[in-house]
Structure 1
Amino acid sequence: MEEAVTDIEVRYVETDQMGIVHHSNYVVWCELGRTHLIKKLGFTYKELEDAGIISPVTNIDLHYKIPVRYGDKVKLHTWIEKYDGVRVIYGYSIINGEGRRCAEGTSTHVCVDQKSFRPLSIRKHLPAWHEAYEWYKK
């Protein structure tokens, strides 16, 4: 299993009136981790878009365990939780400086034609991605 670890230092703008990271920012962080993992595997979303393919989120599931606050430094761990040739589920875990899990979750994605939004087989249309995802999935 290949994993990308993304360092995040919480910015003031990411916090809410209670002084903790607003839940919407965790989704942004997941995207950072996902693009970091994809880059680590040797690919980019730009390559997808240039080929007329996009990869929308079809589901996201996040569980918040411990608050993260302004100035905290956390590590976002991202990996391929499940892959079936069409659908990809990425896993995420956010760990604070004390080694405690602050949040965890998954996001599900499919590749679709950019114009028609019809689902595409990763196995068929992106064979290099398919091989890498098969190799590195959990």
Structure 2
Amino acid sequence: MFISEKKVEVRYAETDAMGVVYHANYLVWFEIGRTALIKELGFNYADMEAQGVISPVIDLNVSYKKSLRYGQSPTIKTKIKSLSPLKVIYEYEILNEEDEICCIGSSTHVLVSKDTFRPIKFKKSFPDWYDAYEKAMG
């Protein structure tokens, strides 16, 4: 199974009044991880959009385990949990420098036409990308 790893730095603007990373920023980091995984597999989401296809989130799960603070450098681990011709489920772990899990989650995405929002079959429309995802899952 292929797991993408991307290190980020906690910026001051990402923290709340308690000095910890504000919960919604983990979702931004999920996107950073997902984008890194896609690039590491040789693809670019912007190319998909240029063909008139977008991939909205239809489900999101997040579980917070341990706080992160300004100045820390967590690692985002991203993998493909599930794949079908119509949807992809990505799974995420965000770990601190001591490799302790701070957050876990998943996001489910479908492909739709940018103009009509009608579903598009991933396997049929992007066969190379789909095959790379199958291989990445092991």
| TM-score bucket of the superposed structures, by smaller chain | over 0.9
C-alpha displacement at 1:40, in angstroms? 0.4
2:50 alignment counterpart = 50
2:117 alignment counterpart = 117
Query: Where do 1:55-94 residues align within 5 Å?
Result: 55-94=55-94
Q: C-alpha deviations, 1:103-131, integer Å up to 9, x for none?
A: 00100000101100001101111111110
Q: C-alpha deviations, 1:72-131, integer Å up to 9, x for none?
A: 111100010110121100000011111110000100000101100001101111111110
Same amino acid, percent of matched pairs: 46
Aligned residues: 138
- TM (norm. structure 1) is 0.97
After TM superposition, where is structure 1 displaced by more than 3 Å over at least 4 residues in a row?
none
C-alpha displacement at 1:133, in angstroms? 1.1
Q: Which sections of structure 2, spanning at least 5 residues, go unmatched? A: none
1:73 alignment partner, SS class: coil
Q: Which sections of structure 1, spanning at least 5 residues, go unmatched? A: none
| Aligned amino acid, residue 84 of structure 1 | S
1:23 alignment partner, SS class: coil
